Amino acid sequence: MATTPLSAAVSHVGKIRSNNQDSGYSGRHLFVVADGMGGHAGGDVASAIATKRIAEADAAYTAVADAESALQAAMIAANSLLAETVFEHSELTGMGTTVSGILRVGDQIALAHIGDSRIYRLRDGTLEQVTADHTFVQRLVDSGRITPEEAAVHPRRSVLMRVLGDVDAAPEIDTKILDTRAGDRWLLCSDGLSSYVAEDKIAQILTTVRSTQAAADRLVKESLDHGAPDNVTVVLLDDDGTDVDADGSAGSGFVGSAAAPLMFEGGGSERRPIRLPTLLLHPLKASPPEDTHFEPEREEFLEQLIEEDRRRARRRRITWLVGVVVVVAAIVGAIALAYQWTQTHYYVGATDDGRIAIFQGVQQTIGPIQLSHIEQTSATRVDDLPAFQRQQVEATINADDLLDAHDILNRLVAAAESGSTP
Ligand code: CA
């Protein structure tokens, strides 16, 4: 019999939020994380209602397929319960929640998932995300419109495409069956962890911190160290090769909103608790809703988001183009200035056919471009010059200006004539 628990659940309100809208559950066979969002109010209510309803599916199943069906059915039942609750309390309209859960059956795991909370499996030191985010940005990534790196900083990255709530009577829930073996670590977390702590860091903590509880605590602390702008919830399950239920290491139960009495912001003077099918709600004056998650209710809103994204892409293209034009203009301007500068210089040298000439510009060439041209050619040949002057001309003689160049040329012409007519 194990002496240390093989599962742990930790939830923290974070450093910015006034209330915890996350819920977590660590049971005997079932493990759940839910991240609620409010319309007017009630993100905490949504995650708590869903988690408590789904926790009713915590049982020993003989076949993993049965567990998968039971988990999916529990999530659909939670969805109905949320709709009924909104029907009874219109103040809660628009509330919803992500849910990611696993049910263990021997060496297999039944998984059900909706939203952007995540499930990871750490195996042999490698962390693998086994759920897909049902987010707007993930849809953009899947369709190749943005990269995963762009998605991570996208201003609409928290917009969810699918949740449980009062919006959709038949929510699209991902389910699958995975294997689990001794040494595997299963991490369920809200985006309060995965959006702020890099996967490398999560993997490093899971690989190095042995105790289940200590590892869960350490992950939450890591998010707090990053400022924890959001609620953060971590549920961790260690597979030590034995059945979780058999060794009596049942988990710590509910955490987060699901661990507190269910209350919500009342619309008026009515503070009477209302009995729901399975739950009791107490109105409560709560803090104003915080806008992190927003579930698009209509297709037109989605279109609006996609259009917004297109506009952003267009703006990026225009900015890039303007940048290129500015850089090209600067380069052309600099070249023109440099060329102008070269053309203020003169020198005396020899032409290709051996005559003394005045050149405007400098002697250098840039690739095929000559930075000088002949300004004036004399009839005098370089060969007619005395040896010393000939060498000077062959090496070229710099002039201060055009006038100076003419003086030099005249002197050379005179020297040639006196040299050839002794
Ligand atoms: Ca969150």
pLDDT in tens, 386-417: 988 899 999 899 999 999 999 999 999 998 88
**Cα dist from 404 to 84, 153, 276, 396, 397, whole Å:** 100, 65, 105, 14, 11
Q: To which H or E segment does residue 256 belong? A: strand 253-256
Q: Does one domain contain both 363 and 247?
A: no
Residue 24 located in a structural domain: yes
Residues 292 and 388 in one domain: no
Distance 211 CA to ligand 1 centre (A): 26
| Residues constituting the chain | 422
Domain shared by 198 and 138, yes or no: yes
Evaluate whether residue 43 is within a structural domain: yes
pTM: 0.67
Structure token pair of residue 96 = 């919803």
CA of 171 to the centre of ligand 1 (A): 20
Query: Ligand 1 centroid to 110 CA: how many Å?
Result: 24
* 142 and 19 within one domain: yes
Same domain, 138 and 247: yes
CA-closest candidate to residue 233, choices 71, 76, 70, 116:
116
Average pLDDT of span 276-291: 46
Q: What is the CATH number of the domain that holds 173?
A: 3.60.40.10
Q: Are residue 388 and residue 291 in the same domain, yes or no?
A: no
414 Cα distance to chain centroid: 79
User: Does residue 113 sit in the same domain as residue 15?
Assistant: yes
- Interhelix angle 387-395/402-420, rounded to 10 degrees, is 150
116 against 308, higher pLDDT: 116
For residue 337, tell me if it sits in a domain.
no
- Domain span holding position 226: 2-260+277-297
- At 190-233, the pLDDT tens digits run 999 999 999 999 999 999 999 999 999 999 999 999 998 999 99
Average confidence (pLDDT) over 234-252: 73
pLDDT at 270 over 50: no
Alpha-carbon gap, residue 34 to 188, rounded angstroms: 9
CA of 373 to the centre of ligand 1 (A): 72
Query: Starting at the edge strand that comes first in sequence, how are the strands of the sheet with 397-399 ordered?
Result: 369-381, 355-366, 346-350, 397-399
Contact 139, 162 (CB under 8 A): no
> Is 110 within the bounds of a domain?
yes
Contact 58, 43 (CB under 8 A): no
- pLDDT over 90, % of the chain: 56
Whole-number pLDDT of residue 175: 97
Higher-confidence position of 367 and 286 = 367
**Do 20 and 160 have their domain in common?**
yes
CB 24 within 8 A of CB 231: no
**Token pair 């750490």 is at which residue?**
122
When the pLDDT of each residue in the chain is averaged and rounded to a whole number, the result is 86
In the 8-state DSSP scheme, what is residue 368? Answer: T
Instruction: Kindly state whether residue 327 falls inside one of the protein's structural domains.
Output: no
Both 108 and 254 in one domain: the answer is yes
Q: 3-state DSSP call for residue 21?
A: coil
Is the pLDDT at 40 greater than 60? The verdict is no
Tell how far the Cα of 38 is from the centroid of ligand 1, in angstroms. 11
Is 67 among the domain residues? yes
Q: What is the DSSP string of 148-179?
A: HHHHHT-TTTTBBS--EESS-SS---EEEEEE
If asked whether residues 58 and 134 sit together in one domain, one would say yes
Residue 265 lies in a domain: no
- Residue 164 CA to ligand 1 centre (angstroms): 14
What is the distance between the alpha carbons of residues 139 and 377, in angstroms, rounded to a whole number?
73
How many angstroms separate the alpha carbon of residue 83 from the centre of ligand 1?
21
Q: What's the rounded Cα separation, in Å, for the pair 28 and 323?
A: 60
DSSP class of residue 60 equals -
Quickly state the pLDDT bin for 272 (edges 50, 70, 90): very low
Query: Do residues 126 and 41 both lie within one domain?
Result: yes
Within 10 angstroms of residue 294's Cβ, the number of other Cβ atoms is 17
| One domain for residues 54 and 155 | yes
| Ligand 1 centroid distance, CA of 195 (Å) | 9
Q: Across the strands, what pairs with 396? A: none
| Structural domain includes residue 307 | no
CATH no. for residue 368? Answer: 3.30.70
133, pLDDT greater than 70: yes
- The per-residue DSSP string of 191-229 comes to HHHHTTS-HHHHHHHHHH--SHHHHHHHHHHHHHHTT--
* Separation of CA 230 and ligand 1 centre (Å): 6
| CA dihedral over 276, 280, 37, 34, signed as positive or negative | negative
- On the 0-12 / 13-18 / 19+ scale of CB atoms within 10 A, 297 is middle
Q: How far is the CA of 287 from the centre of ligand 1 (A)?
A: 16
Number of domains in the chain: 2
DSSP 325: H
